[in-house]
Structure 1
Amino acid sequence: MNLTLPLDDPASLHAGDSVLLSGTVYTARDAAHARFAESISAGEELPFDVDGATIYFVGPTPARPGHVIGSAGPTTASRCDAYSPMLVERGLRAMIGKGRRNAEVKESMLAHGCVYFGAIEGTAALLSQCITSAEVVAYEDLGAEAVRRLTIADFPALVVNDLHGGDLYDDGPARYRR
């Protein structure tokens, strides 16, 4: 299924759906999320409009000459679980990463209309080929963990957590039990 970001109808997605994502995503790992929390606590603006946005948990390597970005594989999303609900409550529509999310994150996603996509681990060089532009928009001092605005095209992912309570990590294995 081809999807354009920002998502118009995340409720149409179900855990296990295979998708190709195209559009704008923002990169952020744990160091950037800690700064988001500081900004929110201080009543300051975030470096991009979170409402409707998609965050990709990634710390890309530097681009080789002639390339937009270096390897860009997913980071374990649970590293940002302490921070994700505050962004979801502010309108974050989707997240991309690898691994399970905790109960608090999943409850926040259900309550506020956010889905979680899993990107395939071990495919960082291939995933980078789906990134057509990359620009640092905040926290340049964090190096690989700086916040970047990426344009992606046909980025492969799976719906892990949907708006119906589905969780691919639970539901997927259950389908094959005898």
Structure 2
Amino acid sequence: MTRPEPTSLQLPLDADAVRELRSGDSVLLSGPLVTGRDAAHGRFAEAIARGEDLPFDPAGETLYFVGPTPARPGHPIGAAGPTTASRMDAWSPLLVERGLRGMIGKGRRSDTVKDAMREHGCVYFGAIEGTAALLSQCVTSAEVIAYSDLGAEAVHRLEVRDFPALVVNDLYGGDLYRDGPARWRRA
């Protein structure tokens, strides 16, 4: 069986690009994205509850659930592998409602997050766990933009080139964790 070539996508994502994606699609992402893990998401939620601006405008953004390690000399970032996305499930709908177009992580998402994604036009990409050093090679620049006191969990703006990912959840209810194994299950 021949697999199709990955689709190259330019970040930030627009609504048309998101509508074209289907669960199982292989993509190469290029452009700017932001990072955030548990501690940053807690602060995002607190800011939203207080009616304050977030440190970035979520509209059109892609958020990578990662806490990169410090950069080695001559590199923009250290290892940058995905963290478990479900740990952000309590907060993700708040960002999706504000226009977040994409999320990158590993693992399944809750029904609440998937419902918000379908309603507001956001997709969830899976990055391959265990490839942190390889994924960091796709990062061409990195800058802390908020919460520097959080260390590795600070919010970064990354520029990526040909960052490999799979569409896990699309706008149409597709779920690679559910549908992928079913494709290969013997009758």
* Aligned pairs for 1:162-173 within 5 A: 162-173=170-181
Q: 2:71 aligns with which of 53, 59, 63?
A: 63
Would you identify which runs of 4 or more consecutive aligned residues in structure 1 move more than 2 Å? Answer: none
One-letter code of the match for 1:3? L
Deviations 1:19-70 (CA, angstroms, capped at 9, x unpaired)? 0000111000010000000000000000011111010000000001111100
Tell me how many residue pairs correspond in the alignment. Answer: 178
Within 5 Å, give how 1:4-153 maps onto structure 2.
Answer: 4-8=10-14, 9-153=17-161
Amino acid aligned to 2:13: L
The one-letter code of the counterpart of 2:19 is A
Residue in structure 1 matched with residue 8 of structure 2 by the alignment: 2
Counterparts of 1:102 and 1:174, CA distance in 2? 19
Deviates more, 1:2-11 or 1:90-99: 2-11
Aligned match of 2:4:
none
Offset, 1:177: 1.1
CA distance in 2, matches of 1:93, 1:14: 14
Q: Could you list the runs of 5+ residues in structure 1 that have no partner in the other structure?
A: none
Q: Give the TM-score, by structure 2 length.
A: 0.95
- The CA distance in 2 between the partners of 1:161 and 1:99, in whole Å, is 11
| Backbone CA RMSD of aligned residues | 0.4
Summarize deviations over 1:82-131 as a string: whole Å, max 9, x none: 00000000000000000000000000000000000000000000000000
Identity, in percent, stands at 75
How many Å separate the matches in 1 of 2:108 and 2:52? 30
